[in-house]
Structure 1
Amino acid sequence: MAENAKQLLSLIEIPILLVQGERVNFANAAAQALLGNHIEQQDIRIALRDPEALALIKSPEGGRAKVTGLSVRGSVWEMVCSPLADNMRLISLQDQSVQVSVARAHADFVANASHELRTPLTAILGYVETLSDPKAGEDAATRQRFLDIIKREATRMQSLVSDLMSLSRIEAVRHEVPSDEIEMVSLCREVIGERPHEVEIRFDANTDSAVVTGDHGQLAQVVRNLVDNAEKYGGSEKGVLVQLEASDRGWLTLSITDHGEGIAPEHLPRLTERFYRADTGRSRAAGGTGLGLAIVKHVVERHRGRFDISSRPGEGTTATIMLPQMKSG
Structure 2
Amino acid sequence: MPVPRKRPPTIADVARVARVSLPTVSRVLTGSVPVRDSTRDRVLAAIRELGYRPNGAARALVQGQQPIVGVVTHDTLAHGLARMIVGIEDQARRNGHVVAIAVLDPADPESTDTALDVLLAQPIVGVIVLDHHMYDAERLRARLGAVPVATVTSSDDVEAGVPHVLVDDRRAAKEITQHLLRLGHTTVHHVTVPGPHGGPQGRELGWSEALIEAGAPVPPVYRSDWSLESGLAAGAALARDGSATAVFCWNDELAFGVMRSLHEAGRRVPDDVSVVGIDDQPLARAWVPSLTTYRLDFDWAGRAAFELLVDPVCGVEAAGATSSGLIVRESTAPPAGH
Q: TM-score, normalised by structure 1?
A: 0.25
The higher relative CO (CA closer than 8 Å, separation ≥ 6) is in: 2
- In terms of fraction of residues, the more strand-rich structure is 1
Larger radius of gyration: 1
